[in-house]
Amino acid sequence: MANRQLFLSLLSLCLLFSSGVMSAKFTLVNQCSYTVWPGILSGAGTPQLSTTGFALQPGQSNSIPVPPSWSGRLWGRTLCNQDPTGKFTCVTGDCGSGTLECAGAGAVPPATLAEFTLNGAGGLDFYDVSLVDGYNLPMLVVPQGGSGGNCTATGCVVELNGACPSELKVTNSVDGGEIVACKSACEAFGDPKYCCSGAYATPDTCKPSSYSQYFKNACPRAYSYAYDDGTSTFTCASADYIISFCPIPAASQKSSGGQLPVTSNVSYSSSATANLSHTSLHFIAILAAIWQLL
């Protein structure tokens, strides 16, 4: 019986490799000068990943295996704390679970989102960085080792909170009003013309607003509103992905605790790809991707 089970397991593995469908890997990197707590939500009908929420200290990274045909989204939570009762909450990107793990709950807007559908139509991965639900921190997605499609970096690599329109700004009441996030117009006003709902639920009726153009001008490859897919969706086959928070070191960029560190200070934790050659390759790829986006 045990031999039969082993045979079936090996057969399944062979079929997986012969079909060209293999697991991917997400490497999440924190280049911010403050702790980021990534959150992960799997799409309906796709399996949960090995973790749905954890802490990344400045300079740390964490690699997560992702099964074939997975879909879902990732984001960064900031200014998180645990109260005396053990309840875990975050000022931005909170998922409302009350714990470190999001456990099937999504981000409360505003939050910068990285969205993925792996091994979709034509065997391609579809991915984007979305500001449709607003923005809380810079994010960059860089495909590694993939081919085909429009296999290139995307993201929003600049700090937008400081210049956010006043009516969209989110402030942290605890520290005297630091700007910590920037709402979408839909979230701020609930108007169908900004939400692309009701009478505005088609590409013909829902057009970019001055608010979505603020996001688009700053981050041309990121989703700025619901029907922005023409310039904001990217595809790749058989790739791994590096997802970086605060990818640009700049003294003028501040959020949730200070200035961004220089890229060369980032080190990989033991749970990530820890050898020097892989680290160097990752950051060469990140720097090249940033150059493309600027």
Asked, for residue 5, whether it belongs to a domain, the answer is no
Cα 232 from Cα 3, distance rounded (Å): 49
User: What are φ and ψ of residue 291, in 5° steps?
Assistant: -60, -40
12: in domain: no
Do 223 and 131 form a contact (C-beta atoms < 8 A)? yes
Q: Is residue 18 part of a domain?
A: no
* 86 located within any domain: yes
Q: Please indicate, yes or no, if residue 7 is contained in any of the structural domains.
A: no
Please indicate, yes or no, if residue 210 is contained in any of the structural domains. Answer: yes
Number of domains in the chain: 1
pTM for the predicted model, two decimal places: 0.80
Structure tokens at 26: 């997400």
Domain span holding position 66? 23-293
Q: Indicate whether 16 belongs to any domain.
A: no
Q: pLDDT by residue for the chain (294 residues), tens digit each?
A: 444 443 333 333 333 333 344 579 999 999 999 999 999 999 999 999 999 999 999 999 999 999 989 999 999 999 999 999 999 999 999 999 999 999 999 999 999 999 999 999 999 999 999 999 999 999 999 999 988 878 999 999 999 999 999 999 999 877 667 899 999 999 999 999 999 999 999 999 999 999 999 999 999 999 999 999 888 999 999 999 999 999 985 433 443 332 222 222 333 332 333 332 344 445 555 555 555 555
For position 199, which CATH number holds?
Answer: 2.60.110.10
Does residue 1 lie in a domain region? Answer: no
Tell me, rounded to whole angstroms, the distance of Cα 255 from its chain centroid. 17
